[in-house]
Each structure stands twice: as C-alpha cells, then as structure tokens.
Amino acid sequence: MDRNEATDVLVIGGGTAGFGAAVAAGRAGLNVILLEATSKVGGVMAFCPGMPWGAAYPADVIIGGLMEELTNCLAAMTPPAAQKRPCTLENFGSEIQYDHDIATLTMFEMLETAGVQVRLNTTAIDPQMAGAKIRSVTCYDRNGPFTVTPKIVIDCSGDGDISAKSGVPFTLGDTGGNMMGVTLSFHMLGVDWAQAFGGDDPYFKLQAAKGITQGRLHPDLAQLYLMRGFHDDTVFCNSVVIRGVDGTDPVAVGNATQEGRRRCHQLAQFLQSDVLGFQNARMAHLGPTVGVRETRKLQAIYRVTGQDLANNTQFADGIVCCDNPIDDVMRTDARMTHDAIVQTGGYYTIPFRSLVPQKITNLMFAGRIICADPVAFASVRGMPQCMAMGQATGLAAALALETSAAVQDISTIALVRALQAQGVNGLGGVPLHPPTKQAPSSG
Ligand SMILES: Cc1cc2nc3c(=O)[nH]c(=O)nc-3n(C[C@H](O)[C@H](O)[C@H](O)COP(=O)(O)OP(=O)(O)OC[C@H]3O[C@@H](n4cnc5c(N)ncnc54)[C@H](O)[C@@H]3O)c2cc1C
C-alpha cells in the first residue's frame, strides 16, 4: 500500500452528521478529509430524496447553527428552495421542506468553501490502533487501499464500523437486538393535492385496508405515509418499510432494496388507480437504496435515556435542542408510533458526552450512532439534530487540537460557547424563547 495521507480530522460518512462535522472542523481552520462510501453527500437524506428535515423547530424555535444557515441560504434563493411548514403527522412540529437537488449542491458548496477534501465512493475499512488512539485508518477507493493518518477521527457513518472495530462497545437496535424497519421512498408527481389531502385520515388507512384485503398491497402498508412534497403537486411516499433487516449487512440491505422496489411499484399503481387525486400522477425519484434508521449504538461517556427526555433535561454540555416524538418504526412488530415525549413547548438537549467514547482519546461519533437508549434514540435521530451533533464534534476537534487535549478532556463550557457563537440556540442555560415573529410559513 503506497498511498498515505495525513490530516487533522478524518470524518467517516457524508450524511447530515458528517456534513456538519466536516464543515465545522474545516471552518475552524483544520485540514479535513471526508470519506463517503457512496456517490453523494446526504446519507439517508440522499437515499430517501426529498425527506423533510424534521425536528428543526423545538418549541417552534429553529435549533440554529448550520441547519439554520443552510435553510436560510436555500430560502433566500429565487424561487425559494426551502420553507418551514407544519408536519401533517401527529406530534411532529414544524419541519423544513426543501428542493433535494439544490440542497445537495448547496451542501457540496459549503463543504468546498470550508476547504474540506470530499472523497466520494471511498470507504473506511479498518482502524490501526496505537494504545488508546486510532493511529491510522485503511480506506478503499477504486484504485485500491490507502491509509489516512488523522489526528482525530469523527465517525459519522451511521453504522459505526470503524468505532466498533476500534473496540468501542455497542448494542444493536433495542434491548432485544431488534432494529427499526428500513424504508425505500419515492415521489408521485402530478398529484392533485386538494383531492389527495381533502380527507380527514392523515394515514389513508381506509384505502390501505382495501388494498391489503385485495392482496394488492403488502400487509405492512396499513398506514400510508404520504406527504406533500416541497414542489406543488408532488407527494413524498415514505411508506414502504421492510422489517427485520440488519443494516450493517450489505447483502440484507441489497435484498431489502429489491423487495422495496417491488412494494413501491405496487403502491404507486394502487395510488393511481384507487386514491383520489393520484389519477394523473406518475412515480419518480425512487431511492437508490433503502434508508436505514437504526443499527449500532456506540457506548459513550453518557447514555441519553427516555427518562432524560421526559424530564426535559437540559444538560450543561447540551449541544442541540430537540422535542421530537418517540418515532418508533416497526422494531418488533408492524406498529409505527409517534408518541409525544415532551409536553407542547418543552424540549430537551443532547449532551456532548453521548458522542464521546470512554477510552479512545482521538475518536468522537455523531448522528444516529449516538449513545442512547431505545426510547431516546427514537427521538434524537432527526436530520437537524444529526447535523448539529456533527457541528459540535467538528468544533470539539478544533478545541482538542488547540489544547492538545484528549476528546474526553476538552472544556465543554468552551464548546457550548463556541456553538452559541455559531448561532446554536437554547444551550448553556439560555432558554429557547418563543419567536416574537413567526417565520414565513405555508400555513
Ligand atoms: C426512512 C427514514 C425516514 C426518516 N424520516 C426522517 C424525517 O422525515 N425527518 C428527519 O429529520 N429525519 C428522518 N429520519 C432520520 C434521519 O434521516 C437519520 O437519522 C439521519 O439522516 C442519520 O444521519 P447520519 O449522518 O447519522 O447517518 P446516515 O444518514 O446514515 O449517513 C451515514 C453515511 O456514512 C456513509 N458510510 C457508512 N459507512 C462508511 C464507511 N465505512 N466509509 C465511508 N462512508 C461510510 C454512508 O454511505 C452514509 O452516507 C429518517 C430515517 C429513515 C431511514
């Protein structure tokens, strides 16, 4: 292996968490390499194109930071490429709808201007340890293996392969090892919104029951998640869930994607023939692979619990606010639940310590591999929070290198101040205030 590269920070995974981590570290003046195994940034956002950024407005106030900056940038375009809208589903607050392709381009540009070296189609395979540190990471692209020698690794891979191979203990899914279902999404274009959403059943249960009884829809499609897309007359179909898939097994993910394609086409045909408003619609933007909700949860200094959420806990080292419901998707059976965990107007924060392993001194993680119990995980996993977790770890990397500290020893007070300086709201004892003026909304 004759290719070796050194860098300050190696970010593994270019999902929303990896984007946040890489931009924050790059803007802090660090050399950053971002590895993404696929051909696009976004992670689940790219695998399920058009999926709204949920949970960006706990207590109806934007979380701030990079999420706010990206949204404002898109919203300021002509015509606007993002908008705050109420979520039609129970217990979810407002969310951000956006144009998928413009958002992806904008994220690439933010990475570029932050000086991040983005390596697409490149996978981190194996860490090499030196005592309590990751010394280097073996990676692969189409030219074969190469080594990156980083000062700090931020694992934003969703699945945590490198952290697990480095010896960080983990659990898979809930206490019984059950992981949430994976989903293949698509759009319907040319839908008459007024007709499609004119009823009072947000989950289209009656129509779904008919399709299941007639054997035209899979029995797991008892609730149809059909949401107005960002563009008029488009509908985002986040309905097809495949259960019992281990998202760390590429063969299982491939098989689930193929099964998902079948069920998505069946659903599209059913919508066209049986659901009002879809008569002239056609299918588009079928995801390239299923979106994986849940795999490993790494062990960190602190494990966020459902009780923390229910108590509206605002940690001293909290790095982002959240009020998302417990959004549990078919872990053990075909049920989908969205039970509120905080009362209206309440929120909790996600502590930095849930992103820091106990032992390895130059590794952090961010995004859906956060250390959380199964209840808390079902709430903390929204894309805005993943992006903010990434932003916090990127800034923490800069603090650790500035002060030659292990990631476990950085000043969390300084970290929270740095996040506040970057416009992250509701941290360090400063409450999230109700907005004095509502942001423009589609109503
Ligand atoms: C079907 C579905 C619906 C959802 N609905 C919503 C919603 O409506 N709103 C919302 O806000 N959130 C939603 N979520 C949750 C949210 O999308 C995810 O929790 C979030 O995107 C996770 O971000 P992440 O960056 O942690 O991980 P991912 O998005 O999983 O990104 C990880 C990235 O790392 C890459 N990677 C993995 N291993 C390696 C490696 N070894 N080397 C290099 N790259 C690697 C992957 O290719 C991927 O791009 C949904 C999730 C799913 C699956």
| pLDDT less than 70: residues of the chain | 1, 434-443
Q: 133: CA distance to ligand 1 center in Å?
A: 26
Task: State the pLDDT at residue 133.
Answer: 98
Query: Strand, coil or helix: what is 204?
Result: coil
Supply the residue whose CA is at minimum distance from atom 15 of ligand 1.
382
Residue with tokens 């949430």: 180
For the CA atoms of 384, 328, 45, 296, what is the dihedral angle to 10 degrees?
Answer: 90
Task: State the pLDDT at residue 165.
Answer: 98
The span from the CA of 53 to the CA of 144, in Å, is 36
Digit-coded pLDDT (tens) for 6-42 = 999 999 999 999 999 999 999 999 999 999 999 999 9
Does the beta carbon of 35 lie inside 6 Å of ligand 1? yes
Report domain extents, the chain. Answer: 4-175+295-325+342-421, 182-284
The span from the CA of 62 to the CA of 438, in Å, is 11
Q: Which atom of ligand 1 is nearest to the CA of 161?
A: 41
pTM of the model: 0.96
Digit-coded pLDDT (tens) for 333-385 = 877 778 888 888 899 999 999 999 999 999 999 999 999 999 999 999 999 99
Does the beta carbon of 295 lie inside 6 Å of ligand 1? no
Candidate of 62, 154, 383, 393 to mutate for ligand 1, largest count of ligand atoms within 8 Å of Cβ: 383
Query: Strand, coil or helix: what is 98?
Result: strand
**Residue 201 CB partners (closer than 8 Å, separation 6+):** none
The CATH code of domain 4-175+295-325+342-421 reads 3.50.50.60
Q: Which atom of ligand 1 is nearest to the CA of 36?
A: 44
Dump strand ranges (E) for 158-201: 170-172, 182-189
Query: Strand, coil or helix: what is 329?
Result: strand
Contact 91, 339 (CB under 8 A): yes
Task: State the pLDDT at residue 436.
Answer: 52
Q: 30: CA distance to ligand 1 center in Å?
A: 25
Task: State the pLDDT at residue 1.
Answer: 59
Q: 289: CA distance to ligand 1 center in Å?
A: 12
Task: State the pLDDT at residue 344.
Answer: 80
Task: State the pLDDT at residue 434.
Answer: 59
Q: 44: CA distance to ligand 1 center in Å?
A: 4
